[in-house]
Amino acid sequence: MGAYVYTRKDEITYIIDLKQKVANFVNKRNWEHNPKNLAEAICIEAAELLEIFQWVSNKQALEFCRNTETMKRIKEELADIQIYLMSLANRMELDISEAVEEKMKLNELKYQVKNNA
Ligand SMILES: [Mg+2]
């Protein structure tokens, strides 16, 4: 078991390129998923991610970072979730970056930082 190798592809990839890649994949297969089915798929893939953590302690979960095979499974489920998120965004013509920015602004208001000084 070697350490999981973290790559920095996030730093050089645009969300629009990933959304286009997902759209191309879907369009080539003539899939026209209903938004409800895509929302269900997100939940199902999230459950698959959760299954990896089923019955393990918090300490064991933290140690997953050092287990290459487990990290591979987590990475795959994370990708499945992200692919369905982008597919839903494509289907409903939602801008993910705008949605995240807007939601983070709301979160900043909702969960304000408390100054202890
Ligand atoms: Mg999966």
In a domain, 75, yes or no: yes
Between the CA of 42 and the centroid of ligand 1 the distance, in Å, is 9
- Nearest Cα to 38, choosing from 75, 89, 78? 89
> Taking the model in full, what pTM does it have?
0.88
Measured CA angle at 24 (ends 33, 16), to 5 deg: 100
Between the CA of 53 and the centroid of ligand 1 the distance, in Å, is 14
Measured CA angle at 19 (ends 13, 22), to 5 deg: 115
Between the CA of 18 and the centroid of ligand 1 the distance, in Å, is 18
Question: What residues are neighbours of ligand 1 (ion), with CB under 5 Å?
Answer: 45, 48, 77, 80
Q: Per-residue pLDDT tens, the chain, 117 aa: give them.
A: 455 556 689 889 999 999 999 999 999 999 999 999 999 999 999 999 999 999 999 999 999 989 999 999 999 999 999 999 999 999 999 999 999 999 999 999 999 998 876
Query: What secondary structure letter does DSSP report for 63?
Result: H
The CATH number given to whatever domain includes residue 43 is 1.10.287.1080
Between the CA of 30 and the centroid of ligand 1 the distance, in Å, is 21
In a domain, 3, yes or no: no
> Domain range for residue 51?
9-110
In a domain, 4, yes or no: no
In a domain, 117, yes or no: no
Residues whose CB falls within 8 Å of the CB of residue 60, separated by 6 or more in sequence, listed in order = none
Number of domain units in the chain = 1
